[in-house]
Amino acid sequence: GEERDKQRRLSKESMDMVPFLCDDLKNHPRDFCKWAYQIVYTRSVETEDGDLRIVPMADYFNHGSDFTEISPYYDEAGNYYAYTTYDVSAG
């Protein structure tokens, strides 16, 4: 209905304002928004206050193991730290 059309126009207008997006992305905002949503919700880390943050290097910490080996931490300034959950030998 009317609300859905309004949302589509808003999405299209917003994407048109981004100068580095190619026309293929701008002309298919639904596909692009679906991709962005999937990236956020499969690659993000939830903070203690419930925010979601994308930390590119942290994304690799959950690959190839059945056990959690990294404990994430954010300081007051929002900086991300990763600590191992066990002692790691040098080298």
pLDDT value, residue 62:
60
CA atoms of 60 and 36, how far apart (whole Å): 18
Which H or E element spans position 74? strand 70-74
Distance of CA 84 to the CA centre of its chain: 22
Q: Each residue of 29-49: pLDDT tens digit? A: 778 888 888 888 888 878 888
Mean pLDDT by 10 residues, the chain (91 residues): 75 80 80 82 81 76 66 83 84 76
pLDDT value, residue 54:
82
CA atoms of 91 and 85, how far apart (whole Å): 17
Q: State the pTM of this model.
A: 0.44
Are the beta carbons of 60 and 45 closer than 8 angstroms? no
CA atoms of 61 and 45, how far apart (whole Å): 11
pLDDT value, residue 72:
78
